[in-house]
Amino acid sequence: MSFLDKYAEEFKKYDSVENDFIDDDKIWGQLEKWSKPSKSDVRRVLDKAANKIRLEPEEMAVLIQNQDSETINEMYALANKLKREIYGDRIVFFAPLYISNKCVNKCKYCGFRSENNEIERRTLTMDEISEEVSIMIGEGQKRTVLVYGESPETNIDFMCDSIKQVYKTKNGNGEIRRANINCAPLSREELVKLKEVGIGTYQVFQETYHHKTYREMHPEGTIKGNYRWRLYAQDRALDVGLDDVAIGALFGLYDWRFELMGLLYHTIHMEEKYNGVGPHTISFPRIEPAIGTPYVSNLKYAVSDEEFKKLVAILRLSVPYTGMILTAREKPEVRREVIPLGVSQIDAGSRIGVGGYRKSEANMLPDKEQFQLGDTRSLDDVIKETCGMDSLPSFCTACYRAGRTGEHFMEVAKNSFVHNFCMPNAILTMKEYLLDFASEDTREAGEKAISKYLGMMKEDRVKQYVVEAIGRLEKGERDIRL
């Protein structure tokens, strides 16, 4: 059986379904219905959002269509408040690890598409994975997301081996404690294997929820050409108990307003079908230039910085308990503005070329990259800046290792207990970072931030535990968590 045929039987099941949960006409109808919301329409929705209740599509449509600067500012202020109330002031850090840029698909917007002859193709060997991971660990990373194209060379067994390789690589006091996966949609049998090997989050981004645009971007006859195979990727994961899943859209392929509604419908579908378990995180990358990819240089639906800010805030207001990831695709100045609007995770010190960490002095490897990064600063620099932004950097990986995923996580998150875990764990993992990896300036900024947030903690058993744990870390113990 050829690689392209391997899912043929499964595809038939999805093709026979009459409708999926994205109804393009209905979405446009809702956006049109609220094309000119009044201030009081917007404030009515904000009142609901302030209670940390997931919004309904028509309510999201009201926020999307709002053009009034006064109430847009109210949206920004509330998005910031919700993020702080639910997650505390912590920002979790991670970095991607590109394992392979070989791909059988032909997505028009991607530098890795099979027809692009302008990039050099390669897949890391197990030894090379260890080398890359060792460098990442040496910079202070604790969380990664492994990125693969879709190719016979990086099949499920290869993926499982690569994940094991990441976890077994150590460097001094450091290690990767959580490896998330960004890969193609998989079958249930394959997902069982991923679960057994101990991944963190399984990420599959729909790219665009708009059916017609999806068909245009992903040619028929490719695996990715099957919209529903991709749309139900998270369902299959949840069906086999892999309950930590993520969704996303690539902004710039179609109208951002539609894509936001698509992300919300996807969340609602999961919550309704899986006992309240929605996506663990949502990503909202904007398309970036990529070598040998002319499609991206003239985008009809390019999202401006102002629209981007607005869409991030609307997501925060609409799905209050879902983590939101902002990547280093964005330039530092955009990140500074957008992070306070509800972002809970960012990457820093990232290299997106295959083998990019070993070539870090070059920073970019355009001949092996999928797109171009906007923020190429070092992890240390971004950590230092974050400490001065009323936020506390965190390398926490505690929930997934303590079994707080899926329903358990939602239970904890919805009871607003997450900051009881998030902030203490941010303090402890940040302390580890400062002891093992930080430059002198960053250590100074980080110690100040730790003192500030320690001072803000209630005088209770948790605080006592954290103070004692800091002492244990200073004496050489590592990986203390709640």
Given the rule CB under 6 A, which residues bind ligand SF4?
92, 103, 105, 107, 110, 112-113, 149-150, 224, 394, 396-399, 418, 421-422, 425
Asked if residues 336 and 281 have their Cβ atoms less than 8 Å apart, the reply is no
Distance (Å, rounded) from C-alpha 93 to C-alpha 323? 12
Per DSSP, what are the bridge partners of residue 182?
147, 203
Kindly tell me which of 83 and 309 has the beta carbon lying closer to ligand SF4. 83
Least Å distance between CB 28 and ligand SF4? Answer: 26
Least Å distance between CB 224 and ligand SF4? Answer: 5
DSSP sequence for 242-263 = ---EEEEB-BTSS-HHHHHHHH
Kindly tell me which of 360 and 397 has the beta carbon lying closer to ligand SF4. 397
Strands 202-203 and 90-98: unpaired
Residue type, position 446, single letter? G
Asked if residues 239 and 273 have their Cβ atoms less than 8 Å apart, the reply is no
Comparing C-alpha atoms, which of 32, 141, 86 is closest to residue 397? 141
Kindly tell me which of 63 and 426 has the beta carbon lying closer to ligand SF4. 426
Least Å distance between CB 42 and ligand SF4? Answer: 30
Least Å distance between CB 105 and ligand SF4? Answer: 4
Strands 90-98 and 345-347: parallel
Q: Calculate ∠ Cα 218-371-140, nearest 5°.
A: 125
- Residue 36: Cβ-neighbour burial (10 angstroms; 0-12, 13-18, 19+): exposed
Asked if residues 103 and 151 have their Cβ atoms less than 8 Å apart, the reply is yes
Kindly tell me which of 62 and 246 has the beta carbon lying closer to ligand SF4. 246
Distance (Å, rounded) from C-alpha 187 to C-alpha 185? 7
Kindly tell me which of 277 and 418 has the beta carbon lying closer to ligand SF4. 418
Q: Which two tokens stand for residue 76?
A: 């920004």
Q: Calculate ∠ Cα 284-58-411, nearest 5°.
A: 65
Kindly tell me which of 62 and 383 has the beta carbon lying closer to ligand SF4. 383
Residue 300: CB atoms within 10 Å: 8
